Chain A
Amino acid sequence: MGTHADAPRLQKSPLGVVTVSSSDNGQVSSDKLTVSSTDGGTVSSSDGGTMTADNVTVSSSDGATVTAQTESDLLGKTIHFALGTAWWATGPIRFGGRLAARTAEAVVADARKRSPWLHRQTQGGGTDARGAIEQLIQSLLRPVITRVVDAALAELDLTELILENVDLDAVAAQLDVEAVIRRVDLDGVVATVDLNAAVERVDLDRIVNRIDIDGVVAGVDIGAVIDRVDVDAIVRRVDLDGAVALVNLDAVVKRLDLNEIADGLDLDPLVAKVNLDAVVDRLDIAAVVARVDPDPVVARVNFDAAMAQIDLIGIAQKIVDGIDLPGIIRDSTGSLASEAVHGVRMQGQQADDAVGQLVGRVFRRRAAAEGLHP
Protein backbone atom coordinates (compact mmCIF):
# COMPACT_ATOMS: atom_id res chain seq x y z
CA MET A 1 0.00 0.00 0.00
CA GLY A 2 1.86 3.05 -1.23
CA THR A 3 1.45 6.55 0.30
CA HIS A 4 2.08 10.13 -0.81
CA ALA A 5 3.06 12.95 1.47
CA ASP A 6 -0.35 14.66 1.12
CA ALA A 7 -2.45 11.52 0.56
CA PRO A 8 -4.78 10.28 3.31
CA ARG A 9 -3.66 7.17 5.17
CA LEU A 10 -6.11 4.21 5.36
CA GLN A 11 -5.98 1.72 8.20
CA LYS A 12 -8.33 -1.23 8.82
CA SER A 13 -8.80 -2.54 12.38
CA PRO A 14 -9.19 -6.25 13.15
CA LEU A 15 -12.91 -5.64 13.49
CA GLY A 16 -13.17 -4.29 9.90
CA VAL A 17 -13.45 -0.57 10.78
CA VAL A 18 -11.61 1.62 8.25
CA THR A 19 -9.96 4.70 9.72
CA VAL A 20 -8.93 7.57 7.40
CA SER A 21 -6.30 9.94 8.72
CA SER A 22 -3.89 12.54 7.39
CA SER A 23 -0.22 11.85 7.34
CA ASP A 24 0.44 15.24 8.96
CA ASN A 25 -2.54 15.06 11.39
CA GLY A 26 -4.39 17.68 9.29
CA GLN A 27 -7.85 17.44 7.79
CA VAL A 28 -8.51 15.03 5.03
CA SER A 29 -10.04 16.53 1.89
CA SER A 30 -13.02 14.63 0.52
CA ASP A 31 -11.77 15.03 -3.04
CA LYS A 32 -8.87 12.75 -2.13
CA LEU A 33 -11.17 9.89 -1.05
CA THR A 34 -13.48 7.72 -3.14
CA VAL A 35 -16.05 5.69 -1.22
CA SER A 36 -18.10 3.15 -3.16
CA SER A 37 -20.23 0.12 -2.34
CA THR A 38 -19.03 -3.14 -3.77
CA ASP A 39 -22.54 -4.62 -3.81
CA GLY A 40 -24.40 -1.55 -5.22
CA GLY A 41 -25.63 -0.32 -1.82
CA THR A 42 -25.98 3.34 -0.72
CA VAL A 43 -23.12 5.12 0.96
CA SER A 44 -24.20 7.77 3.48
CA SER A 45 -22.69 9.70 6.31
CA SER A 46 -24.54 9.54 9.62
CA ASP A 47 -22.96 12.48 11.33
CA GLY A 48 -21.22 14.25 8.48
CA GLY A 49 -17.85 12.78 9.49
CA THR A 50 -18.31 9.05 9.58
CA MET A 51 -19.80 7.03 6.68
CA THR A 52 -21.44 3.70 7.18
CA ALA A 53 -22.46 1.28 4.46
CA ASP A 54 -22.47 -2.43 3.76
CA ASN A 55 -19.49 -3.72 1.87
CA VAL A 56 -17.93 -0.31 1.30
CA THR A 57 -14.67 0.18 -0.55
CA VAL A 58 -12.64 3.27 0.36
CA SER A 59 -10.05 4.36 -2.20
CA SER A 60 -7.37 6.94 -1.56
CA SER A 61 -5.96 9.36 -4.13
CA ASP A 62 -2.72 7.43 -4.19
CA GLY A 63 -4.47 4.23 -5.24
CA ALA A 64 -4.71 2.61 -1.79
CA THR A 65 -7.93 0.63 -1.36
CA VAL A 66 -9.53 -0.75 1.75
CA THR A 67 -12.76 -2.78 1.80
CA ALA A 68 -15.01 -2.53 4.87
CA GLN A 69 -17.63 -5.03 5.85
CA THR A 70 -21.22 -4.80 7.08
CA GLU A 71 -22.23 -3.82 10.56
CA SER A 72 -23.87 -7.20 11.23
CA ASP A 73 -20.59 -8.90 10.51
CA LEU A 74 -18.94 -6.41 12.75
CA LEU A 75 -21.35 -7.25 15.53
CA GLY A 76 -20.79 -10.98 15.16
CA LYS A 77 -17.10 -10.52 15.08
CA THR A 78 -17.32 -8.35 18.13
CA ILE A 79 -19.27 -11.03 20.00
CA HIS A 80 -16.85 -13.68 18.97
CA PHE A 81 -13.99 -11.46 20.01
CA ALA A 82 -15.64 -10.88 23.38
CA LEU A 83 -16.28 -14.58 23.94
CA GLY A 84 -12.76 -15.45 22.92
CA THR A 85 -11.41 -12.79 25.19
CA ALA A 86 -13.62 -14.06 28.03
CA TRP A 87 -12.54 -17.63 27.43
CA TRP A 88 -8.93 -16.57 27.33
CA ALA A 89 -9.34 -14.42 30.43
CA THR A 90 -11.03 -17.18 32.39
CA GLY A 91 -8.28 -19.63 31.50
CA PRO A 92 -6.43 -19.19 34.81
CA ILE A 93 -9.72 -19.60 36.73
CA ARG A 94 -10.58 -22.76 34.88
CA PHE A 95 -7.05 -24.05 35.38
CA GLY A 96 -7.34 -23.28 39.07
CA GLY A 97 -10.66 -25.08 39.24
CA ARG A 98 -9.31 -28.19 37.59
CA LEU A 99 -6.30 -28.10 39.81
CA ALA A 100 -8.52 -27.78 42.90
CA ALA A 101 -10.74 -30.66 41.76
CA ARG A 102 -7.73 -32.88 41.12
CA THR A 103 -6.27 -31.93 44.49
CA ALA A 104 -9.59 -32.70 46.23
CA GLU A 105 -9.77 -36.07 44.49
CA ALA A 106 -6.24 -36.89 45.52
CA VAL A 107 -6.92 -35.89 49.12
CA VAL A 108 -10.14 -37.89 49.30
CA ALA A 109 -8.47 -40.94 47.74
CA ASP A 110 -5.61 -40.76 50.19
CA ALA A 111 -8.01 -40.30 53.12
CA ARG A 112 -10.00 -43.36 51.99
CA LYS A 113 -6.85 -45.43 51.93
CA ARG A 114 -5.87 -44.28 55.43
CA SER A 115 -9.40 -44.49 57.03
CA PRO A 116 -11.41 -47.74 56.78
CA TRP A 117 -14.49 -45.91 58.04
CA LEU A 118 -14.31 -43.26 55.41
CA HIS A 119 -13.67 -45.94 52.87
CA ARG A 120 -16.85 -47.75 53.87
CA GLN A 121 -18.94 -44.52 53.95
CA THR A 122 -17.79 -43.33 50.58
CA GLN A 123 -17.85 -46.71 48.90
CA GLY A 124 -20.59 -47.03 46.29
CA GLY A 125 -22.84 -44.01 45.43
CA GLY A 126 -20.29 -41.21 45.95
CA THR A 127 -18.35 -42.01 42.85
CA ASP A 128 -21.44 -42.33 40.71
CA ALA A 129 -22.80 -38.95 41.83
CA ARG A 130 -19.53 -37.19 41.12
CA GLY A 131 -19.29 -38.84 37.71
CA ALA A 132 -22.81 -37.77 36.81
CA ILE A 133 -22.06 -34.16 37.76
CA GLU A 134 -18.95 -34.13 35.70
CA GLN A 135 -20.74 -35.60 32.72
CA LEU A 136 -23.45 -32.98 33.03
CA ILE A 137 -20.95 -30.16 33.18
CA GLN A 138 -19.05 -31.47 30.24
CA SER A 139 -22.19 -31.97 28.15
CA LEU A 140 -23.27 -28.39 28.81
CA LEU A 141 -19.99 -26.62 28.50
CA ARG A 142 -18.33 -28.57 25.74
CA PRO A 143 -20.50 -27.29 22.86
CA VAL A 144 -20.20 -23.77 24.12
CA ILE A 145 -16.46 -23.99 24.59
CA THR A 146 -16.01 -25.62 21.25
CA ARG A 147 -18.01 -23.03 19.42
CA VAL A 148 -16.33 -20.15 21.19
CA VAL A 149 -12.87 -21.47 20.38
CA ASP A 150 -13.81 -22.21 16.78
CA ALA A 151 -15.31 -18.75 16.32
CA ALA A 152 -12.29 -17.08 17.84
CA LEU A 153 -9.86 -19.02 15.73
CA ALA A 154 -11.90 -18.39 12.57
CA GLU A 155 -12.12 -14.67 13.12
CA LEU A 156 -8.69 -14.03 14.43
CA ASP A 157 -5.72 -13.82 12.10
CA LEU A 158 -3.23 -14.91 14.71
CA THR A 159 -0.34 -14.54 12.34
CA GLU A 160 -1.16 -10.94 11.58
CA LEU A 161 -1.85 -10.25 15.23
CA ILE A 162 1.54 -11.61 16.19
CA LEU A 163 3.29 -9.71 13.38
CA GLU A 164 1.64 -6.43 14.35
CA ASN A 165 1.72 -6.65 18.12
CA VAL A 166 4.67 -8.81 18.96
CA ASP A 167 8.17 -7.43 18.73
CA LEU A 168 9.76 -10.53 17.24
CA ASP A 169 13.17 -8.93 17.33
CA ALA A 170 12.89 -8.43 21.08
CA VAL A 171 11.60 -11.97 21.50
CA ALA A 172 14.47 -13.29 19.42
CA ALA A 173 16.92 -11.20 21.42
CA GLN A 174 15.63 -12.78 24.61
CA LEU A 175 15.80 -16.24 23.16
CA ASP A 176 18.74 -18.30 24.45
CA VAL A 177 19.58 -20.01 21.17
CA GLU A 178 22.52 -21.90 22.65
CA ALA A 179 20.31 -23.34 25.39
CA VAL A 180 17.78 -24.40 22.77
CA ILE A 181 20.48 -26.02 20.70
CA ARG A 182 21.85 -27.82 23.75
CA ARG A 183 18.41 -29.20 24.49
CA VAL A 184 18.07 -30.57 20.99
CA ASP A 185 18.97 -34.25 20.74
CA LEU A 186 20.81 -34.09 17.44
CA ASP A 187 21.87 -37.70 17.68
CA GLY A 188 18.29 -38.76 18.04
CA VAL A 189 17.25 -36.56 15.16
CA VAL A 190 20.02 -37.88 12.93
CA ALA A 191 19.21 -41.44 13.96
CA THR A 192 15.73 -41.03 12.64
CA VAL A 193 16.94 -39.82 9.27
CA ASP A 194 17.28 -42.43 6.53
CA LEU A 195 20.50 -41.14 5.07
CA ASN A 196 20.65 -43.89 2.49
CA ALA A 197 17.31 -42.93 1.09
CA ALA A 198 18.29 -39.28 1.16
CA VAL A 199 21.52 -39.95 -0.67
CA GLU A 200 19.76 -42.12 -3.24
CA ARG A 201 17.46 -39.22 -4.02
CA VAL A 202 20.36 -36.91 -4.71
CA ASP A 203 21.30 -36.61 -8.40
CA LEU A 204 25.02 -36.26 -7.92
CA ASP A 205 25.71 -36.25 -11.65
CA ARG A 206 23.50 -33.29 -12.14
CA ILE A 207 25.08 -31.50 -9.21
CA VAL A 208 28.55 -32.17 -10.47
CA ASN A 209 27.67 -31.08 -14.00
CA ARG A 210 26.46 -27.78 -12.67
CA ILE A 211 29.72 -27.12 -10.87
CA ASP A 212 32.22 -24.94 -12.75
CA ILE A 213 35.27 -26.97 -11.77
CA ASP A 214 37.55 -24.87 -13.94
CA GLY A 215 36.40 -21.76 -12.21
CA VAL A 216 36.78 -23.33 -8.79
CA VAL A 217 40.25 -24.57 -9.56
CA ALA A 218 41.24 -21.22 -11.05
CA GLY A 219 40.24 -19.52 -7.86
CA VAL A 220 42.28 -21.81 -5.65
CA ASP A 221 45.67 -20.59 -4.52
CA ILE A 222 47.47 -23.86 -5.09
CA GLY A 223 50.71 -22.48 -3.69
CA ALA A 224 49.10 -21.53 -0.39
CA VAL A 225 47.39 -24.90 -0.18
CA ILE A 226 50.66 -26.71 -0.78
CA ASP A 227 52.42 -24.56 1.80
CA ARG A 228 49.84 -25.57 4.40
CA VAL A 229 50.17 -29.26 3.65
CA ASP A 230 52.43 -31.18 6.05
CA VAL A 231 53.81 -33.55 3.50
CA ASP A 232 56.08 -35.24 6.04
CA ALA A 233 53.16 -36.12 8.29
CA ILE A 234 51.22 -37.46 5.32
CA VAL A 235 54.11 -39.58 4.16
CA ARG A 236 54.64 -40.99 7.67
CA ARG A 237 51.01 -42.09 7.78
CA VAL A 238 51.15 -43.72 4.37
CA ASP A 239 51.73 -47.48 4.23
CA LEU A 240 54.34 -47.30 1.52
CA ASP A 241 55.06 -51.02 1.71
CA GLY A 242 51.45 -51.84 1.09
CA ALA A 243 51.22 -49.27 -1.68
CA VAL A 244 54.36 -50.56 -3.39
CA ALA A 245 53.10 -54.13 -3.07
CA LEU A 246 50.04 -53.13 -5.08
CA VAL A 247 52.11 -51.60 -7.88
CA ASN A 248 52.88 -53.75 -10.91
CA LEU A 249 56.53 -52.77 -11.14
CA ASP A 250 57.12 -54.90 -14.20
CA ALA A 251 54.51 -52.99 -16.16
CA VAL A 252 55.89 -49.68 -14.91
CA VAL A 253 59.43 -50.58 -15.89
CA LYS A 254 58.29 -51.72 -19.34
CA ARG A 255 56.67 -48.34 -19.90
CA LEU A 256 59.77 -46.41 -18.90
CA ASP A 257 62.11 -45.07 -21.57
CA LEU A 258 65.32 -45.78 -19.72
CA ASN A 259 67.45 -44.44 -22.53
CA GLU A 260 65.81 -41.05 -22.31
CA ILE A 261 66.17 -41.05 -18.53
CA ALA A 262 69.82 -42.04 -18.75
CA ASP A 263 70.49 -39.29 -21.31
CA GLY A 264 69.12 -36.73 -18.88
CA LEU A 265 71.22 -37.87 -15.94
CA ASP A 266 74.52 -36.30 -14.99
CA LEU A 267 76.21 -39.43 -13.71
CA ASP A 268 79.60 -37.90 -13.02
CA PRO A 269 78.67 -36.26 -9.68
CA LEU A 270 76.84 -39.41 -8.60
CA VAL A 271 79.74 -41.66 -9.44
CA ALA A 272 82.14 -39.28 -7.70
CA LYS A 273 80.20 -39.80 -4.45
CA VAL A 274 80.20 -43.58 -4.68
CA ASN A 275 82.73 -45.48 -2.61
CA LEU A 276 83.72 -47.87 -5.34
CA ASP A 277 86.26 -49.64 -3.15
CA ALA A 278 83.54 -50.58 -0.68
CA VAL A 279 81.29 -51.69 -3.52
CA VAL A 280 84.00 -53.87 -4.98
CA ASP A 281 84.78 -55.34 -1.56
CA ARG A 282 81.15 -56.37 -1.18
CA LEU A 283 80.99 -57.95 -4.60
CA ASP A 284 81.29 -61.69 -4.91
CA ILE A 285 83.49 -61.54 -7.98
CA ALA A 286 83.73 -65.31 -8.19
CA ALA A 287 79.94 -65.65 -8.25
CA VAL A 288 79.64 -62.94 -10.90
CA VAL A 289 82.28 -64.54 -13.09
CA ALA A 290 80.67 -67.95 -12.64
CA ARG A 291 77.41 -66.57 -14.06
CA VAL A 292 79.08 -65.09 -17.12
CA ASP A 293 78.82 -67.11 -20.31
CA PRO A 294 82.18 -66.43 -21.96
CA ASP A 295 81.37 -68.13 -25.24
CA PRO A 296 79.36 -65.27 -26.83
CA VAL A 297 81.94 -62.76 -25.63
CA VAL A 298 84.85 -64.73 -27.00
CA ALA A 299 83.04 -65.28 -30.30
CA ARG A 300 82.82 -61.52 -30.80
CA VAL A 301 86.50 -60.88 -30.12
CA ASN A 302 88.76 -60.23 -33.12
CA PHE A 303 91.76 -62.12 -31.92
CA ASP A 304 93.74 -61.44 -35.07
CA ALA A 305 93.53 -57.70 -34.58
CA ALA A 306 94.25 -58.07 -30.87
CA MET A 307 97.27 -60.30 -31.51
CA ALA A 308 98.58 -57.89 -34.13
CA GLN A 309 98.72 -55.16 -31.49
CA ILE A 310 100.56 -57.29 -28.95
CA ASP A 311 104.35 -57.47 -28.84
CA LEU A 312 104.48 -61.20 -28.23
CA ILE A 313 108.22 -61.34 -28.74
CA GLY A 314 108.80 -58.69 -26.13
CA ILE A 315 106.38 -60.33 -23.72
CA ALA A 316 108.01 -63.72 -24.23
CA GLN A 317 111.41 -62.19 -23.62
CA LYS A 318 110.18 -60.60 -20.39
CA ILE A 319 108.68 -63.90 -19.28
CA VAL A 320 111.87 -65.80 -20.00
CA ASP A 321 113.88 -63.17 -18.17
CA GLY A 322 111.48 -63.21 -15.28
CA ILE A 323 111.30 -66.94 -14.76
CA ASP A 324 115.04 -67.54 -15.44
CA LEU A 325 114.32 -70.39 -17.82
CA PRO A 326 118.01 -71.30 -18.27
CA GLY A 327 118.29 -71.54 -14.51
CA ILE A 328 115.29 -73.82 -14.36
CA ILE A 329 116.70 -76.05 -17.09
CA ARG A 330 120.06 -76.08 -15.39
CA ASP A 331 118.57 -76.89 -12.04
CA SER A 332 116.38 -79.65 -13.46
CA THR A 333 119.29 -81.15 -15.39
CA GLY A 334 121.53 -80.84 -12.39
CA SER A 335 118.89 -82.44 -10.27
CA LEU A 336 118.70 -85.45 -12.58
CA ALA A 337 122.49 -85.72 -12.72
CA SER A 338 122.69 -85.28 -8.98
CA GLU A 339 120.29 -88.16 -8.43
CA ALA A 340 122.35 -90.37 -10.75
CA VAL A 341 125.59 -89.38 -9.05
CA HIS A 342 124.05 -89.98 -5.66
CA GLY A 343 123.09 -93.47 -6.71
CA VAL A 344 126.60 -94.22 -7.98
CA ARG A 345 128.14 -92.93 -4.76
CA MET A 346 125.83 -94.99 -2.58
CA GLN A 347 126.46 -98.14 -4.51
CA GLY A 348 130.21 -97.43 -4.42
CA GLN A 349 130.20 -97.06 -0.67
CA GLN A 350 128.19 -100.22 -0.27
CA ALA A 351 130.68 -102.06 -2.51
CA ASP A 352 133.57 -100.68 -0.46
CA ASP A 353 131.96 -101.87 2.74
CA ALA A 354 131.27 -105.27 1.23
CA VAL A 355 134.90 -105.66 0.17
CA GLY A 356 136.08 -104.44 3.56
CA GLN A 357 133.88 -106.96 5.38
CA LEU A 358 135.06 -109.74 3.11
CA VAL A 359 138.67 -108.86 3.73
CA GLY A 360 137.97 -108.53 7.44
CA ARG A 361 136.51 -111.99 7.63
CA VAL A 362 139.46 -113.37 5.68
CA PHE A 363 141.95 -111.75 8.02
CA ARG A 364 139.67 -112.13 11.08
CA ARG A 365 139.78 -108.41 11.55
CA ARG A 366 137.20 -106.65 13.71
CA ALA A 367 135.25 -104.06 11.90
CA ALA A 368 135.15 -101.83 14.95
CA ALA A 369 138.93 -101.77 15.11
CA GLU A 370 139.06 -100.70 11.51
CA GLY A 371 136.68 -97.85 12.09
CA LEU A 372 134.97 -98.51 8.81
CA HIS A 373 131.44 -98.33 10.06
CA PRO A 374 129.84 -95.38 11.69
Chain B
Amino acid sequence: MVQANQQPIGRGSEHRPAGIVTRAAAMGVDMAVVIVLGSLVYVTVAGARLVWSPANFSWPDVSFFVTLVVEFTIAVLYLTASWAMTGRSYGASLLGLRVLSNRGSIPGWPLAFIRAVFCVFFPVGLAWVILSPERRSVQDVVLRTVVVYDWRGADSPTSSKD
Protein backbone atom coordinates (compact mmCIF):
# COMPACT_ATOMS: atom_id res chain seq x y z
CA MET B 1 0.00 0.00 0.00
CA VAL B 2 2.77 2.36 0.82
CA GLN B 3 4.44 1.65 -2.43
CA ALA B 4 1.19 2.19 -4.27
CA ASN B 5 0.58 5.42 -2.47
CA GLN B 6 3.95 6.73 -3.57
CA GLN B 7 3.17 6.34 -7.22
CA PRO B 8 2.39 9.66 -8.93
CA ILE B 9 -1.08 10.18 -10.31
CA GLY B 10 -0.28 13.21 -12.40
CA ARG B 11 -2.09 16.45 -12.89
CA GLY B 12 -3.70 16.39 -16.22
CA SER B 13 -6.53 18.62 -17.21
CA GLU B 14 -8.94 16.15 -15.64
CA HIS B 15 -7.13 16.63 -12.30
CA ARG B 16 -7.69 20.30 -11.85
CA PRO B 17 -7.57 21.63 -8.30
CA ALA B 18 -10.94 21.51 -6.65
CA GLY B 19 -12.74 24.68 -5.67
CA ILE B 20 -14.23 25.85 -2.43
CA VAL B 21 -17.76 24.62 -3.13
CA THR B 22 -16.98 20.95 -3.71
CA ARG B 23 -14.38 20.87 -0.92
CA ALA B 24 -16.79 22.48 1.55
CA ALA B 25 -19.50 20.01 0.53
CA ALA B 26 -17.08 17.15 1.03
CA MET B 27 -16.18 18.52 4.40
CA GLY B 28 -19.82 18.71 5.35
CA VAL B 29 -20.37 15.08 4.34
CA ASP B 30 -17.32 14.07 6.35
CA MET B 31 -18.62 15.96 9.35
CA ALA B 32 -21.87 14.04 9.09
CA VAL B 33 -19.94 10.80 8.86
CA VAL B 34 -17.98 11.72 11.97
CA ILE B 35 -21.16 12.55 13.83
CA VAL B 36 -22.65 9.21 12.82
CA LEU B 37 -19.50 7.44 13.92
CA GLY B 38 -19.58 9.28 17.26
CA SER B 39 -23.18 8.28 17.69
CA LEU B 40 -22.23 4.68 17.02
CA VAL B 41 -19.57 4.92 19.65
CA TYR B 42 -22.06 6.30 22.12
CA VAL B 43 -24.56 3.55 21.32
CA THR B 44 -21.81 0.96 21.58
CA VAL B 45 -20.78 2.23 25.00
CA ALA B 46 -24.37 2.24 26.14
CA GLY B 47 -24.84 -1.30 24.87
CA ALA B 48 -21.75 -2.40 26.69
CA ARG B 49 -23.05 -0.90 29.89
CA LEU B 50 -26.37 -2.63 29.32
CA VAL B 51 -24.67 -5.95 28.87
CA TRP B 52 -22.33 -5.35 31.78
CA SER B 53 -24.99 -4.24 34.27
CA PRO B 54 -28.48 -4.44 32.88
CA ALA B 55 -30.09 -3.75 36.23
CA ASN B 56 -28.21 -0.50 36.68
CA PHE B 57 -28.42 0.53 33.03
CA SER B 58 -28.82 4.15 32.20
CA TRP B 59 -27.80 6.14 29.18
CA PRO B 60 -24.30 7.51 29.51
CA ASP B 61 -24.16 11.13 30.56
CA VAL B 62 -21.37 12.50 28.40
CA SER B 63 -20.12 16.06 28.84
CA PHE B 64 -19.68 18.46 25.94
CA PHE B 65 -15.90 18.40 26.32
CA VAL B 66 -15.72 14.66 26.23
CA THR B 67 -18.00 14.60 23.27
CA LEU B 68 -15.85 17.16 21.53
CA VAL B 69 -12.71 15.19 22.24
CA VAL B 70 -14.23 11.98 21.05
CA GLU B 71 -15.57 13.57 17.88
CA PHE B 72 -12.24 15.19 17.12
CA THR B 73 -10.46 11.93 17.72
CA ILE B 74 -12.83 10.09 15.46
CA ALA B 75 -12.46 12.76 12.83
CA VAL B 76 -8.67 12.60 12.91
CA LEU B 77 -8.61 8.84 12.71
CA TYR B 78 -11.23 8.73 9.98
CA LEU B 79 -9.51 11.31 7.77
CA THR B 80 -6.05 9.87 8.37
CA ALA B 81 -7.10 6.42 7.35
CA SER B 82 -9.10 7.65 4.37
CA TRP B 83 -6.39 9.89 2.92
CA ALA B 84 -3.59 7.43 3.60
CA MET B 85 -5.36 4.48 2.00
CA THR B 86 -7.21 5.98 -0.94
CA GLY B 87 -6.53 9.67 -0.86
CA ARG B 88 -10.15 10.41 -0.34
CA SER B 89 -12.64 10.40 2.49
CA TYR B 90 -16.28 9.45 2.00
CA GLY B 91 -17.22 13.05 1.34
CA ALA B 92 -14.33 13.48 -1.12
CA SER B 93 -15.32 10.26 -2.84
CA LEU B 94 -18.89 11.43 -3.15
CA LEU B 95 -17.86 14.76 -4.65
CA GLY B 96 -15.12 13.22 -6.83
CA LEU B 97 -12.11 14.71 -5.01
CA ARG B 98 -8.76 13.27 -4.10
CA VAL B 99 -5.94 14.51 -1.91
CA LEU B 100 -2.50 14.24 -3.47
CA SER B 101 0.95 14.98 -2.19
CA ASN B 102 3.33 17.38 -3.82
CA ARG B 103 4.67 14.49 -5.93
CA GLY B 104 1.19 13.74 -7.25
CA SER B 105 0.77 10.57 -5.19
CA ILE B 106 -1.51 9.57 -2.37
CA PRO B 107 -0.24 11.00 0.93
CA GLY B 108 1.55 8.72 3.33
CA TRP B 109 0.27 7.97 6.78
CA PRO B 110 2.32 10.68 8.56
CA LEU B 111 1.33 13.32 6.07
CA ALA B 112 -2.26 12.15 6.19
CA PHE B 113 -2.26 12.31 9.99
CA ILE B 114 -0.74 15.76 10.16
CA ARG B 115 -3.12 17.06 7.54
CA ALA B 116 -6.08 15.48 9.39
CA VAL B 117 -5.10 17.12 12.67
CA PHE B 118 -4.53 20.38 10.90
CA CYS B 119 -7.93 20.24 9.19
CA VAL B 120 -9.81 19.21 12.36
CA PHE B 121 -8.35 21.92 14.56
CA PHE B 122 -8.16 24.65 11.94
CA PRO B 123 -11.03 24.12 9.53
CA VAL B 124 -11.09 27.81 8.64
CA GLY B 125 -7.92 27.23 6.66
CA LEU B 126 -10.17 25.85 3.93
CA ALA B 127 -11.36 29.37 3.15
CA TRP B 128 -7.99 30.20 1.64
CA VAL B 129 -9.07 28.20 -1.35
CA ILE B 130 -11.23 31.09 -2.40
CA LEU B 131 -8.33 33.46 -2.54
CA SER B 132 -5.62 31.08 -3.64
CA PRO B 133 -4.88 31.17 -7.37
CA GLU B 134 -4.06 27.44 -7.18
CA ARG B 135 -7.12 26.70 -5.05
CA ARG B 136 -5.05 25.59 -2.08
CA SER B 137 -6.15 25.77 1.53
CA VAL B 138 -3.84 26.78 4.35
CA GLN B 139 -3.20 23.12 5.06
CA ASP B 140 -2.28 22.55 1.44
CA VAL B 141 0.07 25.47 1.41
CA VAL B 142 1.76 24.38 4.62
CA LEU B 143 1.90 20.68 3.86
CA ARG B 144 2.35 21.06 0.07
CA THR B 145 -0.67 18.98 -0.79
CA VAL B 146 -3.41 19.54 -3.29
CA VAL B 147 -7.01 18.46 -3.68
CA VAL B 148 -7.98 17.68 -7.28
CA TYR B 149 -11.06 16.46 -9.17
CA ASP B 150 -10.87 12.69 -9.64
CA TRP B 151 -14.07 10.93 -10.68
CA ARG B 152 -12.54 7.51 -11.01
CA GLY B 153 -13.14 4.67 -8.59
CA ALA B 154 -11.53 4.22 -5.24
CA ASP B 155 -8.85 1.90 -6.62
CA SER B 156 -7.98 4.01 -9.63
CA PRO B 157 -5.94 6.76 -7.88
CA THR B 158 -3.04 4.34 -7.54
CA SER B 159 -2.59 4.36 -11.26
CA SER B 160 0.47 6.27 -12.43
CA LYS B 161 -0.63 6.88 -16.01
CA ASP B 162 -2.60 9.96 -15.11
Binds A, one of B31-39, B58-66, B129-137: B129-137
Chain A CB within 8 A of B21 CB: yes
Number of residue pairs A-B, CB distance < 8 angstroms: 50
Are B13 and A348 interface neighbours, CB within 8 A? no
Q: How far is the CA of A348 from the CA of B131 in the complex (A)?
A: 18
- Within the complex, the shortest CB–CB distance from B91 to chain A, in Å, comes to 11
Are B19 and A351 interface neighbours, CB within 8 A? yes
Given A352-B21, A356-B19, are A374 and B130 neighbors across the interface (CB < 8 Å)?
no
What are the residues of chain B within 8 A of A341 when measuring CB–CB? 94, 96
Chain B CB within 8 A of A22 CB: no
Given A344-B95, A355-B130, A359-B130, are A374 and B20 neighbors across the interface (CB < 8 Å)?
no
| Interface class of chain A by DSSP | helix
Are B21 and A355 interface neighbours, CB within 8 A? yes
Binds B, one of A48-56, A74-82, A311-319, A364-372: A364-372
Chain B CB within 8 A of A345 CB: yes
- B48-66 contacts to A, CB under 8 A, are none
What are the residues of chain B within 8 A of A349 when measuring CB–CB? 19, 22, 149
Q: How far is the CA of A374 from the CA of B151 in the complex (A)?
A: 16
Chain A CB within 8 A of B103 CB: no
Interface centre among B16, B94, B149 (most CB of A within 10 A): B16
Chain B CB within 8 A of A157 CB: no
As a 0/1 sequence over residues 1 to 26 of chain B, the CB contacts with chain A under 8 angstroms (1 = contact) are 00000000000010011111110010
Number of B interface residues at 8 Å Cβ cutoff, please give it.
19
Given A355-B130, A369-B133, are A345 and B151 neighbors across the interface (CB < 8 Å)?
yes
Chain B CB within 8 A of A353 CB: yes
| Interface residue from B19, B131, B134, B151 paired with A352 (Cβ < 8 Å) | B19
- Within the complex, the shortest CB–CB distance from B19 to chain A, in Å, comes to 2
- Within the complex, the shortest CB–CB distance from B32 to chain A, in Å, comes to 14
Are A348 and B20 interface neighbours, CB within 8 A? no
Q: How far is the CA of A351 from the CA of B151 in the complex (A)?
A: 16
Given A356-B19, A374-B13, are A348 and B95 neighbors across the interface (CB < 8 Å)?
yes
What are the residues of chain A within 8 A of B133 when measuring CB–CB? 365, 369-370
Chain A: CB-nearest residue to B130: A359
Chain A: CB-nearest residue to B133: A370
What are the residues of chain A within 8 A of B16 when measuring CB–CB? 371-372, 374
Are B151 and A370 interface neighbours, CB within 8 A? no
Chain A: CB-nearest residue to B18: A352
Q: How far is the CA of A158 from the CA of B94 in the complex (A)?
A: 156
- Within the complex, the shortest CB–CB distance from B118 to chain A, in Å, comes to 22
Are A370 and B149 interface neighbours, CB within 8 A? no
What are the residues of chain B within 8 A of A342 when measuring CB–CB? 151
Interface centre among B17, B22, B149 (most CB of A within 10 A): B22
Chain B: CB-nearest residue to A373: B16
What are the residues of chain B within 8 A of A344 when measuring CB–CB? 25, 94-95
| Interface residue from B19, B25, B134, B151 paired with A353 (Cβ < 8 Å) | B19
- Within the complex, the shortest CB–CB distance from B64 to chain A, in Å, comes to 33
Are B19 and A355 interface neighbours, CB within 8 A? yes
Are B94 and A356 interface neighbours, CB within 8 A? no
Are B25 and A348 interface neighbours, CB within 8 A? yes
- Within the complex, the shortest CB–CB distance from B123 to chain A, in Å, comes to 18
Chain A: CB-nearest residue to B23: A352
What are the residues of chain A within 8 A of B151 when measuring CB–CB? 342, 345
What are the residues of chain A within 8 A of B21 when measuring CB–CB? 348, 351-352, 355
- Which B residues have a C-beta under 8 Å from some C-beta of A? 13, 16-22, 25, 94-96, 130-131, 133-135, 149, 151
**Closest 6 interchain pairs by CB?**
A352-B19, A348-B22, A351-B21, A345-B96, A374-B13, A370-B133
A-B contact pairs, 20 of them (CB 8 A): A344-B25, A345-B149, A348-B19, A348-B25, A348-B95, A349-B22, A349-B149, A351-B19, A352-B22, A355-B19, A355-B20, A355-B130, A356-B19, A359-B131, A363-B131, A369-B133, A370-B133, A370-B134, A371-B134, A374-B13
